[in-house]
Structure 1
Amino acid sequence: MGQARHIPPDESFRDSIATVDKQGKRVWINPKKPAGKWYNRRMWFGYALLVVLLVGPFIRIGGEPLLQIDVLGRRFVILGQTFWPEDIHLFVFGFLASIVFIALFTVAFGRLFCGWACPQTIFMELVYRRIEYWIEGDWKQQKALDKRAWDADKLLRKSAKHVLFFLVAFVISNTFLGYIIGSDNLIRIITEPPQQHLGGLAAMFGFSLMFYGVFAFMREQVCTTVCPYGRLQGVLLDRRSVVIAYDRVRGEQRGLFRKGEDRSDAGKGDCIDCRACVHVCPTGIDIRNGTQLECVNCTACIDACDHMMGAVGLPKGLIRYASEAEIADHKPFRWTARMKAYSAVLAVLIGVILTLIVLRSDVETTVLRTPGMLYQTRPDGRISNLYNYKVVNKTSRRMSIRFEVREPAGDLQLVGRAIELEPAAMAQGSLFIILPPTSLDGMKTRVDLGVYGDERLLEEVSTSFVGPIGTNRP
């Protein structure tokens, strides 16, 4: 029987996440209330993002929403510009650019986004956690309340907390719903009689329950277990990535603080082993163990450590934003070859996207022969084909659309009324293309059409025209 592999004590923490015990059960985290300059900066930045998020569905640019992802209607509005499935090439390049940007940002600055701009962190730490502190007290009071037998006070506090949690979840979820269905539809669902919008109300309630479950029960598990971005840290970070790091060169060996003691002569580093950084961590890790999957770069440990260093008269910055290379080798942050390569690829992709946007036409037109229909011979001897057309207005203005046969010479006849295209809308119908036999080039002829909006050529499209066998241009 082989000898069991020895795991050094200082590395055993990597075998499991901090919120799961040895029996595999959930360890509930009650972090100490953070305070300090970094927390204040993050708080004001986060609240600014919250304001933008909450008012975003109601902001209009040229009559269009700031952002709307209407998946069911297959309509996407970004900064007031409407995009349709026909703009799939833009979405592809945009997706690629996003992936490269995420890789570049993470290689350079680690999980900075998670701590400062991720909605999960902002809502959890700046909204839900503050409600918890207000109702249940700081971390020690929360732990005592959880251990205490149920009584009227505990029931009241827990009930009040979860009622507020659900109300906040209702506001958050419906704000996100506004980005999908639009603010007008959201207001209509809220203000009109419920029986007219049973499906919409069910969606609102379902979204609210989901968000309530995430922030009341899942909490930090979203960051440590569910979120794929956290899992990417191991392949994207390197020694030159800026992360929240403990300066082990300066901090080790750890030792409790004794007034009047010369720590250098005693062989001690600056870390006084107070565990303040552990107590404030919202994911329950010890940052002194190095970069870990669970760290969301929330800066709480920086403030806690700086406070303790100031209290005992030692230099601040024992925990700070730094790279491993800066701490171990005293090398300042520099743009590495890897970062430059990502930047070059990102610049090319952004250039392609901007070029495609500049060259993007105001309309997207599709003209296809009606399936199953043969050509028709008219009384005057000309040949006609029936087509289905679809025109998408990508602008925020109304257009009068007209088709014209440009090559070869021929006529075009709409089935029905003239095309009046509403802003950011789609029109579809049928039309006949009529050509003389002398314009045909065999059994199949290419036809070029011009699409005019308010008498201005917007786009050229091509389609095929089918005629009798043996018809050729002279």
Structure 2
Amino acid sequence: MTTEFNDFETPVDAYRQKHAPKPDMTGGKRQWLYPRVVKGRYYRWRTLVAWVLLALFFGGPFLSRDGQPLFLFNVLERKFNFFGVTFWPQDFHLVAIGMLAFIVFISLFTVVYGRVWCGWACPQTVFMEMVFRKIETAIEGDANTRKRLDAAPWTTEKLLKKGTKYTVFFLISFVISNTFLAYIIGKDELLQIITDDPMNHLGGLMAILIFTGVFYAVFAWLREIVCTTICPYGRLQGVLLDRKSVVVAYDDRRGEPRGKMQKPTAINHTWQPLSFAPKGDCIDCKLCVQVCPTGIDIRKGIQMECISCTACIDACDEVMDKIGRPQGLIRHDSLEGIQTRKPWRFSGRMMAYSLVLLLIMGVWGYLLAGRTDLETTILRAPGQLFQRESGGRISNLYLVEVVNKTHHTRPVTFRVTYPGAQLKMVQPLVRVPADELAKGMLFILLPEKAIHQNSTHLEIEVLSEGVVLDNIKTTFLGPIQ
């Protein structure tokens, strides 16, 4: 049997045209995926990384430093802990710069290594593939068995398996939601919600149930839809990736045109094509499609749905070993590397991203090193002008807020440096509790003869145990002489 081509058509082009994507005949309905599990070298590495990340996630809220949680994202009280360092709203610039550095880091990582974050470290993938998928396989069986079970009528066996699976899914989602809430309100508050009368913590219980429902819906039903539709990161790939980015790619120059293989003959025990047309290394076994958690065919090129989980690499390498061909038909490589066979090089674009990242991290480190233990805000009382006092003095009322960023109670005193100025506390503020915000009020008095303009610039020193920790600049209103 022979295959004919026109003058401008190669065997690869003809094969691609023959195997072009077919029109959607499902009426827009979701096609449930049943990805197979292949346990190759990348799968073993992903499993190790997943266990480390899971241990960090579940252990994070219970780790502490100097009596403070190592990680805390208390949005309600606007209090955040990173590695035991407390950040308050006054440190918003540090948090913003840190988030910017993280975004640049993810962008750089995507430019260089593609969507590695999604396949190896994203919580959605880690929980779905390394927790929920394993439980589903243990209860319902492998991919083909699960598919037959879903298509079968409801029997006692099906009810038992489905009920067991979804019950375990719900319990794990409940544990995840409790851990997630511990990152927001802290472990002590969470333990109080669990052990105390539920009626005293209806808000916390409702939050736990809502989070449980969200996680259950994600891992029991939404699954790959989170990666392919909901998460915006996949769509950013089209902007971030270029021909030099290292991605999970299919070597079409080596694999096309595809062709089935015959069993070994009794003469030479070698694999032979079924036809006389030239064939590539791809035998069209479709294992790379069957193991993909998002249901794509990597042989059609880079696609937004690819999460770089490397399952297709493990499946293809296993097939190549069986047919006596070298591994790497699907591998980590750039599109330029596949087409030109040139080794990967660090491009100017990657260098630019790296320099920007280093610059942002340097600024962040400088600001963090200069961060004061006490953050003070002194503002003139709103709606208040100056007041005339006895002895020819003019007074202004100020509101004071002091944030103690340390884990120890700190004494505070205030001192105004302007010549002839006096400071009098109205609402005493002499001590700031650890990790708390304290408020006070004070008067500043100036001799009227020392005022030469309606707005006089002053500087107030904030001292703790005789050491000046902060200098606050403010203005003093008074009559014009």
TM-score over 0.5 (shorter chain): yes
Q: 1:420 aligns with which of 401, 408, 431?
A: 431
Structure-1 separation of matches of 2:420 and 2:328: 78
Matching residue of 1:67: 71
TM-score, normalised via structure 2 length: 0.92
Contact 1:399 1:420 in 2 (8 A): yes
Moved more, 375-384 or 261-270: 261-270
For residue 439 of structure 1, report the CA deviation from its aligned partner. 2.9
Per the alignment, residue 52 of structure 1 pairs with 56
1:338 aligned to which of 340, 349, 352: 349
Show the counterpart of 2:237: 233
**TM-score with structure 1 setting the length:** 0.93
The corresponding residue for 1:35 is 39
Q: Offset at 1:33?
A: 1.9
Q: Which amino acid aligns with 2:34?
A: N
What is aligned with 2:102?
98
Distance in 2 of aligned mates of 1:44 and 1:21: 40
SS at match of 1:347: helix
Per-residue CA distance 1:291-349 (angstroms, 9 max, x = gap): 11111111111111111111222211211111111111111111101111111111111
Of the three residues 284, 304, 320, the one matched with 1:309 is: 320
CA distance in 1, matches of 2:480, 2:25: 79
Question: Tell me, which stretches of 5 or more residues in structure 2 are unaligned?
Answer: 1-15, 265-269
Aligned to 1:4: none
Root-mean-square deviation (CA, aligned residues, Å) is 1.8
1:3 equivalent in structure 2: none
Correspondence for 1:374: 385
For the residues of structure 2 that align with 1:239 and 1:444, how far apart are their CA atoms? 61
Shift of 1:10: 5.2
Separation in structure 2 between the aligned mates of residue 184 and residue 441 of structure 1, nearest angstrom: 56
Once structures 1 and 2 are overlaid, which stretch shifts more, 412-421 or 129-138?
412-421
Give yes or no for contact 2:224–2:293 (8 Å, CA) kept in 1. Answer: yes
Q: How much does 1:9 deviate? A: 5.9
Cα distance, 1:266 vs structure 2 = 5.3
- Match of 2:457? 446
**Which residue of structure 2 aligns with residue 180 of structure 1?**
184
Deviation at 1:169, TM superposition (A): 0.5
Contact map agreement 1:375 1:384 (CA 8 A) in 2: yes
Q: What residue number does 1:435 align with? A: 446
| Structure 2 contact 61–187 (Cα < 8 Å) conserved | yes
The CA distance in 2 between the partners of 1:231 and 1:41, in whole Å, is: 27
2:218 to 197, 209, 214: 214
Aligned equivalents of 2:211 and 2:96: distance in 1?
28
AA matched with 1:215: F
* Distance in 2 (alpha carbons) for counterparts of 1:152 and 1:408: 90
Alpha-carbon distance change, 109 to 125 in structure 1, aligned in 2, over 3 angstroms: same
Task: Name segments (4+ residues, structure 1) moved above 6 Å.
Answer: none
C-alpha distance 362-11 of structure 1, shift in aligned 2 (>3 A): farther
- Helix, strand or coil: the match of 2:259? coil
Counterpart CA distance in 2 for 1:201 and 1:346 is: 41
2:412 counterpart (398, 401, 406):
401
Check the 8 A contact 1:362/1:393 in 2, yes or no: yes
- 2:115 match: 111
Preserved contact between residue 261 and residue 272 of structure 2 (Cα < 8 Å): no
Distance of 1:265 and 1:50 partners within structure 2 = 52
Distance between the aligned counterparts of 1:265 and 1:94, measured in 2?
Answer: 60
The one-character-per-residue Cα deviations of 1:200-244 (angstroms, maximum 9, x if unpaired) are: 111111110111011111000000000000011111111111111
Does the 8 Å contact 1:443/1:468 carry over to 2?
yes
Equivalent of residue 170 in structure 1, options 174, 188, 200? 174
The whole-number CA distance in structure 2 between the counterparts of 1:186 and 1:171 is: 12
SS in 2 for 1:459: strand
Q: CA-to-partner distance for each residue in 1:120-166, whole Å, 9 max, x for gaps?
A: 00000000000100010000100110011001110010011000001
| Deviation at residue 102 of structure 1 after TM alignment | 1.8
Q: Kindly report which structure 2 residues correspond to 1:355-394, keeping only aligned pairs within 5 A, or say none.
A: 355-394=366-405
CA contact (8 A) 1:392 1:427 kept: yes
Using the TM superposition, give the Cα deviation of residue 403 of structure 1 relative to its aligned residue in structure 2, in angstroms.
0.7
Shift of residue 25 of structure 1?
A: 0.5
- Look up the equivalent residue of 1:130 and give its one-letter code: K
CA distance, structure 2, for counterparts of residue 8 and residue 272 of structure 1: 17
Distance in 2 between residues matched to 1:397 and 1:377, nearest whole Å: 40
Partners in 2 of 1:107 and 1:345 — Cα distance? 14
CA contact (8 A) 1:33 1:133 kept: no
For the 8 Å contact 1:246–1:319, the answer to whether it is kept is yes
Deviations 1:154-198 (A, max 9, x none): 001001100000111011111111111111111111111111111
More displaced 10-residue stretch of structure 1: 40-49 or 409-418 = 409-418
Amino acid at match of 2:367: L
Deviation at residue 462 of structure 1 after TM alignment: 1.2
Answer whether contact 1:419 1:427 (CA < 8 A) is retained. Answer: no
Check whether the contact 1:408–1:448 (CA below 8 A) recurs between aligned residues: no
Q: Distance in 1 between matches of 2:38 and 2:180?
A: 28
Aligned AA for 2:472? Answer: V
* 2:144 aligned partner: 140
CA distance in 2, matches of 1:21, 1:162: 30
Separation (CA, whole Å) in 2 of partners of 1:408 and 1:186: 53
CA contact (8 A) 1:246 1:320 kept: yes
**How far is the alpha carbon of 1:98 from its aligned partner?**
2.3
Letter paired with 1:403: F
Paired residues for 1:9-28 under 5 Å? 12=21, 22-28=26-32
Work out the CA distance in 1 between the residues paired with 2:235 and 2:260: 35
Which segments of 5 or more consecutive residues in structure 1 lack a partner in the other structure? 1-6
How many residues end up aligned between the 2 structures? 459
Distance 1:215 1:132 in 2: 11
Residues 21 and 34 (structure 1 numbering): CA distance in 2 closer, same or farther, change over 3 Å? Answer: farther
Q: 2:86 aligns with which of 68, 78, 82?
A: 82
Tell me if the contact between 1:244 and 1:297 (Cα under 8 Å) persists in the aligned partners. Answer: yes
- Who is 2:8 aligned against? none
Query: What is the letter of the counterpart of residue 139 of structure 1?
Result: A
State the alpha-carbon separation in 2 of the partners of residues 71 and 269 from structure 1: 56
Q: Determine what percentage of the aligned residue pairs are the same residue.
A: 50
| SS of equivalent to 2:257 | coil
Q: Which position in structure 2 is the counterpart of 1:202?
A: 206
